[in-house]
Chain A
Amino acid sequence: MARYIVRRVLQMVLAFFGTTLLVYWLMFAASGDPIAALAGERPLSESTRAALIQEFHLDQPFLVQYAYYMKGLLTLDLGVNTSGREIGELVASAWPWTLRLALLAFVFVVVAGIALGVIAGTRRGGAFDNTTLVLTLVVISIPVFVIGQVLALVGARYDLFPTNVVGDDSLAALIVPALVLGSLSLATTVRLARTSVTENLRADYVRTARAKGLIHRRIVGVHVLRNSLIPVITFLGVELGSLMGGAIVTEKIFNVPGIGFQLYKAISIEDGPTVVTIVSLLVIVYLVMNLIVDVLYGVLDPRIRYE
């Protein structure tokens, strides 16, 4: 087990540096003019220019710039944005919102996704199963921003639920945004759980469990479920990371003042440093979630653990 974890951690460290390097490169080196990439088209005063060059070490070779940037990121010194505000502060005040939103969405995806998937999987071919299949396909096909925008519109027009989260501190205001954020993951989870349950119901060990005289509820609820959940949990773990990344759309639509909202604002005002910092942070969250999932996978599936 320890060796498995060490191997995965090493792979993640490699992917971490590779990924952040790629993000950084895409931001600065890929566009010809790094200053324009940072501050957009607007005219800059000579002093701002100089400050940007100093802040991002633009007079140094690319890899040195990257090294400085990584150092800042790893020591949580996130620097200042183009209007001189500490990005660290920005992130610190926005983070809790996104975390709450993503966790709420995640709970929803886990509970509803597994429950619906297991029910559909055990009743394959039935009315419930077919309805679930069609509905999930529809949800998968409608881009999240469309679902969100239409819900926000309808909600506001008929005054069904709050569609503007700014200034509303209650968790209740986050429910609809969380449903929207989780909708795609939910549909995918349902389908994955369904397939996994159906496959496992056909497995030989189910026949053994029946031959032991176990009751049906225990065969499905313990033997089949424990096996079926392995791919589902793996998927879900990765999803928690991408839910935070996906929050940009939901937070924009419902005005949730989280990380995604800040990212959206930074894009609109062409604030390069904030964009690249927030994206890097989200990528890190995503990678760490992947690592946790890999370890969890090892715990759940003994065949992996001892390889």
Chain B
Amino acid sequence: MGRHSAPEADDAAAAQTGEPLLQVDDLHVEFRTGDGVAHVINGVSFDLRAGETLAVLGESGSGKSVTAQAVMGILDTPPGHVTRGAIRFHGEDMLRMSGTRRRQIRGKRIAMIFQDALSALNPVFTVGWQITETLRKREGMSKKDADERAVELMDLVRIPAARDRLKSFPHQFSGGMRQRVMIAMSLAERPEIIIADEPTTALDVTVQAQIMDLLGDLRRELGTALILITHDMGVVADVADRIAVMYAGRIVEHADVHSLYRNPAHPYTIGLLDSIPRLDDKGKRLRTIPGLPPNLTAIPSGCPFHPRCPFAQDICVTRVPPNMDLGGGRRSECHFADRIVTGELTRPDQEDE
């Protein structure tokens, strides 16, 4: 693999400053079901540059997977519909491409890894067959060449005795190994972007760490850009460059990892950070965000977070907060973001402790 990856890594370094690989602009997605219209994505915008890792963070149901599916073009339609926005890949809007052109990007230039590899892999085909499927069908490789490539890929994701395991079925692997198969499969056509949707959620803690390490190493070696979706704030700190925090189908805060951890600029981010278990706060109670995520068929007025927000004021109920630019590439959708980020405004209930 190395021989192919070297130039790409150079490209990635060069592209770091250039034109974004992927630009999502004001994306809106709704699901029309018998129970009404669920407004699942309500104006999501973000950029991804070559070789960069963006973590997308948020409670379950906040719209992370739907965002990923919209980018991949694999939304379940119906009931899901993109109603507004653009998703530009190398400057070209994929939402306006022909189905055929879009399919040539899907899996080949933007690949995806799913949460539960056991159900995401087809149970009746060998892993070798599944890894090589697009190589044989789209790249026109012979079966023999494709198998060689699959062995390379399985070595790359550190599956031991790769050649012997080509003919194994998904259920014959452990959870961690299965996720490696999934990763190998996504790398088959050397994509420029990999979207990993909760790649470690279904795994044991120790295996989670191994898979995250692997993803970090692969990104460094291959220079692939990565969108890492997770609801676990603890996972992303070491791997991500930037973090987008999602709530009710919006990106409520967007920052580089260090700033976000040091000075969060949105009450929801503060809530998420407070709910990470830490070694040094033994004895202290873990704080969870009170209340439930909103019903997406009836999103609260004003700031959608206001029913759960300890900072909420009257204005939050009536006015949608602006997307405030805090400088240094940081943004936050909160009326008081500028004062929260500086620490001027603290959590009202903080003093009680």
List the interface of chain A (C-beta within 8 A of B).
203-205, 207-215, 218, 223, 226-227, 230, 300-303, 306
- 10 more A-B contacts (CB under 8 A) besides A204-B119, A205-B121, A212-B106? A203-B119, A204-B116, A205-B119, A211-B74, A214-B133, A223-B125, A226-B122, A302-B123, A302-B171, A306-B169
Which B residues lie within 8 Å of A227 (CB)? 122-124
B137 engages A207 (CB within 8 Å):
no
B133 engages A212 (CB within 8 Å):
yes
> What's the least CB distance linking B32 to chain A, in Å?
15
User: Assuming the A-B contacts A210-B74, A213-B104, A213-B106, are A205 and B123 also in contact, with contact meaning beta carbons closer than 8 angstroms in the complex?
Assistant: yes
Interface segment, B107-115, B212-220, B293-301, B324-332? B107-115
User: Assuming the A-B contacts A213-B106, A213-B134, A226-B125, are A302 and B169 also in contact, with contact meaning beta carbons closer than 8 angstroms in the complex?
Assistant: yes
Is B5's CB within 8 Å of the partner chain A? no
Is B72's CB within 8 Å of the partner chain A? yes
A211 engages B106 (CB within 8 Å):
yes
B138 engages A213 (CB within 8 Å):
yes
Which B residues lie within 8 Å of A223 (CB)? 122, 125
A213 engages B103 (CB within 8 Å):
yes
A213 engages B169 (CB within 8 Å):
no
Which B residues lie within 8 Å of A215 (CB)? 103
The CA of A300 and the CA of B124, in the complex, are separated in Å by: 7
- Would you mind naming 12 contact pairs between A and B with Cβ atoms under 8 Å apart? A203-B119, A205-B119, A205-B122, A208-B112, A208-B122, A210-B106, A211-B114, A212-B111, A214-B107, A223-B122, A230-B124, A306-B169
The 7 closest A-B pairs by CB, nearest first: A213-B107, A213-B106, A204-B119, A212-B107, A205-B122, A302-B169, A211-B112
B107 engages A211 (CB within 8 Å):
yes
The proximity string for B residues 151-188 relative to A, scoring 1 for CB distances below 8 Å and 0 otherwise, is 00000000000000000010110000000000001000
The proximity string for B residues 118-141 relative to A, scoring 1 for CB distances below 8 Å and 0 otherwise, is 011111110000000110011000
User: Assuming the A-B contacts A205-B123, A212-B107, are A303 and B171 also in contact, with contact meaning beta carbons closer than 8 angstroms in the complex?
Assistant: yes
Is B312's CB within 8 Å of the partner chain A? no
Which A residues lie within 8 Å of B82 (CB)? none
The CA of A212 and the CA of B107, in the complex, are separated in Å by: 4
B124 engages A302 (CB within 8 Å):
yes
The CA of A208 and the CA of B117, in the complex, are separated in Å by: 10
The CA of A212 and the CA of B129, in the complex, are separated in Å by: 13
Which A residues lie within 8 Å of B114 (CB)? 204, 207-208, 211
The CA of A214 and the CA of B122, in the complex, are separated in Å by: 14
The CA of A148 and the CA of B124, in the complex, are separated in Å by: 40
Is B105's CB within 8 Å of the partner chain A? yes
The CA of A230 and the CA of B123, in the complex, are separated in Å by: 12
User: Assuming the A-B contacts A303-B169, A303-B171, A306-B172, are A212 and B134 also in contact, with contact meaning beta carbons closer than 8 angstroms in the complex?
Assistant: yes
Which B residues lie within 8 Å of A303 (CB)? 123, 169, 171
The CA of A211 and the CA of B107, in the complex, are separated in Å by: 6
> What's the least CB distance linking A277 to chain B, in Å?
42
Pick from A205, A213, A215, A306 the residue with the most CB of B within 10 Å: A213
The CA of A214 and the CA of B138, in the complex, are separated in Å by: 9
List the interface of chain B (C-beta within 8 A of A).
72, 74, 103-108, 111-112, 114, 116, 119-125, 133-134, 137-138, 169, 171-172, 185
B122 engages A211 (CB within 8 Å):
no
A205, A213, A301: the one contacting B108 at CB < 8 Å is A213
The CA of A218 and the CA of B103, in the complex, are separated in Å by: 13
B120 engages A214 (CB within 8 Å):
no
> What's the least CB distance linking B16 to chain A, in Å?
27
Residue on A with the closest CB to B115? A204
> What's the least CB distance linking A160 to chain B, in Å?
44
The CA of A212 and the CA of B185, in the complex, are separated in Å by: 9
Which A residues lie within 8 Å of B105 (CB)? 213
> What's the least CB distance linking B149 to chain A, in Å?
15
B74 engages A207 (CB within 8 Å):
yes
B72 engages A211 (CB within 8 Å):
yes
> What's the least CB distance linking A209 to chain B, in Å?
7
A205, A213, A306: the one contacting B120 at CB < 8 Å is A205
The CA of A73 and the CA of B299, in the complex, are separated in Å by: 75
Which A residues lie within 8 Å of B123 (CB)? 205, 227, 301-303
B121 engages A218 (CB within 8 Å):
no
> What's the least CB distance linking B33 to chain A, in Å?
14
> What's the least CB distance linking A201 to chain B, in Å?
10
Residue on A with the closest CB to B74? A210
Residue on A with the closest CB to B119? A204
The CA of A209 and the CA of B112, in the complex, are separated in Å by: 10
Residue on B with the closest CB to A303? B171
Which A residues lie within 8 Å of B74 (CB)? 207, 210-211
The CA of A251 and the CA of B19, in the complex, are separated in Å by: 76
Which A residues lie within 8 Å of B108 (CB)? 213
Pick from B107, B122, B169, B185 the residue with the most CB of A within 10 Å: B122
Which B residues lie within 8 Å of A306 (CB)? 169, 171-172
The CA of A208 and the CA of B103, in the complex, are separated in Å by: 13
B111 engages A211 (CB within 8 Å):
yes
The CA of A303 and the CA of B169, in the complex, are separated in Å by: 8
> What's the least CB distance linking B309 to chain A, in Å?
34
Which B residues lie within 8 Å of A208 (CB)? 112, 114, 120-122
> What's the least CB distance linking A297 to chain B, in Å?
12
> What's the least CB distance linking A247 to chain B, in Å?
34
The CA of A71 and the CA of B129, in the complex, are separated in Å by: 49
The CA of A303 and the CA of B126, in the complex, are separated in Å by: 11
